[in-house]
C-alpha cells in the first residue's frame, strides 16, 4: 500500500531538474562553438592527411588541406585555430635555427589560412621543440644539461616577429622561459606589430599528458622518447601558488590572454587563475586528455559524446573563457545539430 506521507519542505531543488527545458533555463554554464580553438597540425608536401595514431580523428594536413579545414571550422562557428608544424628531421638542429627561416612551414601555413579564411583568428606557437633535434623548447646550455633561458628568449622574440609579419593574430609562447612575454612584447612593438596579441602559456605544467602531441609534431621522435623531462622550465604538478606567480608575471609583462595547460587535471588551477586576473583565461585540453577519452570509449567503458561534452563543460565551469581542444570540430557539429 502506497504511503500518503510527505515531507514538509519549502525548498525542493529537484523542481528545477524536472524537465530538459527547465534544466536548460537554469543552466549556469553552457558550451558554444565560439568557446573553442582548434589545434591543427601541418606538414610539407601534397600528400593526403596523415592520421596521428594516438589521437583518433586527428591528422597532419598539407597546407592546402589545412586551409580547407580552417574554412570548415569557421563555417561551423569555431572562431580560432592554433597551428603546429611537423618538420622533416633534415630541417632540425640543436638550436632550432629553422624557426627563424622566413619561409618556414608554419609561416606559409599562416598565410594560406589567412587567405582562405580571413576572419578566422590564427594563433601560432612560439617555442623551439618542433625545430630542435633534442625536442626541448629552447637552446641547450653548454653542458647540454638544461635549457639556456636567455639565449632561448632571444630566438623566441625574433620568431614572434616573423609570425606577426606572416599575419598571425596571436603569438603563443609555450616555452615557459623566464621573461619571454616581456621580450616578445618589446620586439613586436619595436617592429610595428602593436596589434599582434600574446596568448601566453602562463601556467604550463610538466605533464605526462603530452605524449600524443609530441608524436604529432615529431618532437618525441627527435628525442627518442615521449617522456621528455622538462621540469627545469615547466611547472611541477605539485604547485598551485607557483602557477599564480607565473600568471601575474606574464600579465605584468604584457600578456593579453593567459593559459593553463593541461586543463582537465588542473581545474583547480583554472579556477585560481580566473580569480587572480581580469585577463581572458584560456585552457588547453591536451592530447593525452583527448586520447584517454577516445581509448576508454573504444573499449566500451565510456560514452564518447557525453564524456567529451562533460569534460569541456567542466573546463569552462572552472573559469576558462576559451578552450583549445581537439574535439572542437566534432563538438561544433554536435552543438549545431542539437540546436536543430
Known catalytic residues are 204, 261
Q: Where are the beta strands (DSSP E) in 143-212?
A: 170-173, 197-204
Q: What is the rounded distance in angstroms from the CA atom of residue 158 to the CA atom of residue 325?
A: 28
What's the grid cell of residue 294? 577516445
What's the grid cell of residue 11? 525548498
Q: CB of 212 within 8 A of CB of 52?
A: yes
Number of neighbours of residue 193 by Cβ within 10 angstroms: 18
**Dihedral, CA of residue 180, residue 182, residue 186 and residue 192, to nearest 10:** 90
Nearest to 114 by CA among 173, 196, 33: 196
Q: What is the rounded distance in angstroms from the CA atom of residue 78 to the CA atom of residue 103?
A: 27
What's the grid cell of residue 97? 635555427
HSE, CB side, 13 Å, CA atoms: give it for residue 83.
34
Amino acid at each position: 500500500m502506497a504511503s500518503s506521507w510527505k515531507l514538509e519542505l519549502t525548498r525542493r531543488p529537484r523542481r528545477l531538474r524536472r524537465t530538459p527545458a527547465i534544466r536548460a533555463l537554469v543552466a549556469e554554464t553552457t558550451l558554444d562553438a565560439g568557446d573553442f580553438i582548434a589545434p591543427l597540425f601541418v606538414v610539407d608536401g601534397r600528400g593526403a592527411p596523415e592520421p596521428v595514431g594516438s589521437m583518433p580523428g586527428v591528422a597532419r594536413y598539407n597546407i592546402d588541406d589545412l586551409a580547407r579545414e580552417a574554412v570548415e571550422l569557421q563555417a561551423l562557428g569555431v572562431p580560432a585555430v592554433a597551428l603546429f608544424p611537423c618538420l622533416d628531421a633534415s630541417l632540425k638542429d640543436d638550436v632550432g635555427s629553422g624557426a627563424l627561416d622566413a619561409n618556414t612551414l608554419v609561416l606559409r601555413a599562416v598565410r594560406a589560412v589567412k587567405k582562405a579564411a580571413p576572419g578566422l583568428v590564427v594563433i601560432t606557437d612560439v617555442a623551439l621543440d618542433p625545430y630542435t633535434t633534442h625536442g626541448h623548447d629552447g637552446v641547450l646550455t653548454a653542458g647540454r644539461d638544461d635549457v639556456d633561458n636567455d639565449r632561448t628568449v632571444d630566438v623566441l622574440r625574433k620568431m614572434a616577429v616573423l609570425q606577426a609579419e606572416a599575419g598571425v593574430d596571436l603569438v603563443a609562447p609555450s616555452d615557459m622561459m623566464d621573461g619571454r612575454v616581456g621580450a616578445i612584447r618589446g620586439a613586436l612593438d619595436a617592429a610595428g606589430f602593436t596589434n599582434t596579441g600574446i596568448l601566453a602559456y602562463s601556467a604550463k605544467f610538466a605533464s605526462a599528458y603530452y605524449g600524443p602531441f609530441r608524436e604529432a609534431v615529431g618532437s618525441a621522435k627527435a628525442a627518442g622518447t615521449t617522456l621528455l623531462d622538462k621540469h627545469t622550465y615547466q611547472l611541477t604538478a605539485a604547485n598551485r601558488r607557483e602557477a599564480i606567480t607565473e600568471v601575474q608575471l606574464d600579465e605584468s609583462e604584457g600578456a593579453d590572454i593567459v593559459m593553463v595547460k593541461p586543463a582537465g587535471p588542473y581545474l583547480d588551477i583554472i579556477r585560481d587563475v580566473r580569480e587572480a586576473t581580469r585577463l581572458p583565461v584560456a585552457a588547453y585540453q591536451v592530447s593525452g586528455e583527448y586520447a584517454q577519452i577516445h581509448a576508454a570509449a573504444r573499449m566500451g567503458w565510456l560514452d564518447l559524446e557525453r564524456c567529451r561534452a562533460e569534460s569541456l563543460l567542466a573546463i569552462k565551469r572552472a573559469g576558462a573563457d576559451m578552450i583549445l581542444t581537439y574535439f572542437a570540430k566534432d563538438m561544433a557539429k554536435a552543438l549545431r545539430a542539437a540546436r536543430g
